[in-house]
């Protein structure tokens, strides 16, 4: 069992020397499962370190796969209901005319919202980020400190990011582990720069309850902040290549 950073480096160099390795699990989590197995690290779905003081993350160097960094509803209270009613649209999922709003927004362009004629994007300011329509800024926002708290709650440990080339798909995917970095310390300014460049996306997933006492009311399925898995290490202040 690996307990220290030095032990990780020693074992990871052995994995690198193995060349192409068939995945131990098909799907997006295959890379992490494969590396954990090769290093002898038990699979851990808890919010705690995988070894020593580190949480182990893996990413495909040549992948466009997206990861959800965290989920956080905007402010103020009932902001999602406001968005759903103003910019939402009817969905065949429900047997009524109530609206839903599913859209992936970025800061570098407007996103058309179904056939409503509306467009939305993310705006950036010193206080945080907000939603902007074709008519201007809406009072729907994520304050700077709320974003910082959300990120640090999810990424409170130190991390090792292992990068690998990948080829093939599903159960036939293979990995060739290339390098590993130690990362720590959420960099809010880097977060905003990536957001402004269109490299971070905000997924609005606002529906409605369709049964029970809350039927017809707004149901937030989790507003997700997403990034390419290969870009995720850019969000940290400390980025030190260890092997």
Nearest residue to 66 via CA among 27, 28, 109: 28
Q: Are residues 137 and 164 in the same domain?
A: no
Q: What's the domain count of the chain?
A: 2
C-alpha 157/C-alpha 201 separation (Å) is: 24
CATH number at residue 73: 3.30.70.3570
Q: Are residues 223 and 113 in the same domain?
A: yes
What residue numbers bound the domain in which 96 lies?
A: 68-148+190-228
Q: Are residues 106 and 201 in the same domain?
A: yes
What confidence score (pLDDT) does residue 221 get? Answer: 67
Q: Are residues 22 and 138 in the same domain?
A: no
Q: Are residues 140 and 107 in the same domain?
A: yes
What confidence score (pLDDT) does residue 94 get? Answer: 57
215 pLDDT more than 70 = no
C-alpha 29/C-alpha 23 separation (Å) is: 10
C-alpha 62/C-alpha 98 separation (Å) is: 41
What confidence score (pLDDT) does residue 68 get? Answer: 87
C-alpha 13/C-alpha 152 separation (Å) is: 30
Q: Are residues 106 and 126 in the same domain?
A: yes
Q: Are residues 79 and 166 in the same domain?
A: no
207 pLDDT more than 80 = no
What confidence score (pLDDT) does residue 119 get? Answer: 97
86 pLDDT more than 90 = yes
What confidence score (pLDDT) does residue 178 get? Answer: 96
Q: Are residues 137 and 199 in the same domain?
A: yes
Stretch 108-129: mean pLDDT? 95
Q: Are residues 131 and 11 in the same domain?
A: no
Global pTM reads 0.78
Q: Are residues 112 and 215 in the same domain?
A: yes
CA end-to-end span of the chain:
19
Tokens of 176: 């060739």
HEC sequence for the chain: CCCCHHHHHHHHHHHHHCCCEECCCCCCCHHHHHHHHHHCCCCCCCCCCCECCEEEEEEECCCCCEEEEEECCCECCCHHHHHHHHHCEECCCCCCCCEEEEEEECCCCCEECCCCCCEEEEEEECCEEEEEECCEEEEEEEEHHHHHHHHHHHCCCEEEEEEEEEECCHHHCEEEEEEEEEEEEECHHHHHHHHHCCCEEEEEEEEECCCCCCCCCEEECCCEEEEECCCHHHHEEEEEECC
155 pLDDT more than 70 = yes
What confidence score (pLDDT) does residue 217 get? Answer: 67
Which phi-psi region, left, alpha or beta, contains residue 168 (left: φ > 0; alpha: ψ -120 to 50)?
Answer: left
More confident residue, 96 or 47: 47
Q: Are residues 142 and 195 in the same domain?
A: yes
What's the mean pLDDT when you consider all of the chain? Answer: 89
169 pLDDT more than 70 = yes
Q: Are residues 18 and 94 in the same domain?
A: no
Q: Phi/psi of residue 179, each to 5°?
A: -160, 165
CATH number at residue 24: 3.40.210.20
Q: Which whole-number Å values give the CA distances from 201 to 1, 83, 93, 195, 198, in the listed order? A: 37, 17, 25, 7, 7
Return the sign of the alpha-carbon dihedral for residues 100, 103, 109, 113.
negative
Convert the pLDDT of each residue in 36-82 to its tens digit: 999 999 887 666 788 888 989 898 987 788 888 899 999 998 998 99
């Amino acid at each position: 069992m690996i307990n220290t950073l030095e032990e990780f480096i020693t074992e990871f160099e052995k994995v690198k020397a193995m060349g192409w390795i068939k995945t131990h699990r098909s799907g997006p989590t295959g890379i992490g499962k494969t590396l954990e197995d090769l290093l002898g690290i038990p699979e851990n779905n808890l919010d705690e370190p995988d070894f020593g003081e580190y949480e182990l993350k893996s990413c495909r160097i040549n992948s466009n796969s997206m990861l959800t960094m965290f989920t956080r509803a905007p402010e103020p209270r009932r902001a999602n209901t406001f968005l759903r009613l103003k910019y939402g649209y009817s969905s065949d999922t429900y047997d009524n005319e109530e609206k839903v709003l599913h859209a992936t927004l970025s800061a570098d362009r407007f996103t058309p919202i179904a056939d409503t004629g509306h467009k939305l994007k993310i705006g950036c300011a010193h206080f945080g980020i907000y939603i902007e329509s074709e008519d201007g800024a809406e009072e729907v926002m994520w304050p700077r400190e709320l974003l910082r708290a959300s990120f640090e709650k999810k990424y409170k440990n130190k991390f090792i990011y292992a990068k690998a080339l990948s080829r093939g798909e599903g159960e036939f995917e293979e990995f060739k582990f290339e390098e590993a970095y130690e990362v720590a310390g959420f960099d809010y300014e880097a977060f905003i720069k990536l957001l402004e460049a269109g490299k971070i996306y905000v997924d609005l997933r606002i529906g409605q309850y369709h049964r029970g006492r809350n039927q017809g009311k707004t149901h937030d399925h989790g507003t997700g902040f997403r990034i390419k898995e290969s870009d995720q290490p850019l969000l940290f202040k400390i980025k030190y290549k260890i092997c």
